[in-house]
Amino acid sequence: MKAPVANTAAPPPALPADAIGRVVDAARRDLAGVEDRRRLGPEAVAAVVAAGFPRHFVPRELGGTAGTFAELLGASAEIARTCPSTAWCAILFAAHGRLAAYLPEEGRKELWGASPDVLIATSIMPPQGEAVRDGDGWRIRGRWDTASGVDHAYWLLLATRTGPADRPEHRIFAVPRSDWTVLDTWRSLGMRGTGSNAVEVAGAFVPDRLSCTLADLQRPLGVDAARCHRVPVHLAGALMFAAPVLGAAEGAFDAWRSAVTPRLPALSPARRAEAELALGEGSARIAAARLLLERVAERADRAEVTPLLVAENRRDAAMAAAWCAEAVDRLFRAAGSQVQREDSPIQRYWRDVTTAASHGVLGPAAAAADYAAAVLDG
Give all domains of the chain, ordered by start, each with its CATH number. 17-112 (1.10.540.10), 120-214 (2.40.110.10), 231-377 (1.20.140.10)
Q: Where are the alpha helices (DSSP H) in 169-306?
A: 237-260, 269-302
pLDDT in tens, the chain (378 residues): 555 554 445 555 689 999 999 999 999 999 999 999 999 999 999 999 999 999 999 999 999 999 999 999 999 999 999 999 999 999 999 999 999 999 999 999 999 999 999 999 999 999 999 999 999 999 999 999 999 999 999 999 999 999 888 888 999 999 999 999 999 999 999 999 999 999 999 999 999 999 999 999 998 888 889 999 999 999 999 999 999 999 999 999 999 999 888 888 888 889 888 889 999 999 999 999 999 999 999 999 999 999 999 999 999 999 999 999 999 999 999 888 888 888 899 999 999 999 999 999 999 999 999 999 999 987
The pTM score is: 0.94
Q: What is the per-residue pLDDT for 242? A: 99
Q: What is the per-residue pLDDT for 118? A: 98
Burial class (CB in 10 A: 0-12, 13-18, 19+), 135: exposed
CA–CA dist 73, 87 (Å, integer): 10
Q: Contact, 338 vs 344, CB < 8 A?
A: yes
CA–CA dist 153, 118 (Å, integer): 8
Q: Which amino acid is at 364?
A: P
CA distances from 145 to 98, 128, 136 (A): 21, 8, 27
CA–CA dist 259, 199 (Å, integer): 40
For residue 148, the number of C-alpha atoms closer than 13 Å in the C-beta half-sphere is: 24
What residues form DSSP beta bridges with 159?
172
SS3 174: strand
Distance of CA 286 to the CA centre of its chain: 19
CA–CA dist 351, 23 (Å, integer): 22
CA–CA dist 156, 190 (Å, integer): 23
What residues form DSSP beta bridges with 213?
171
Report DSSP state, residue 235: G
Q: Contact, 48 vs 208, CB < 8 A?
A: no
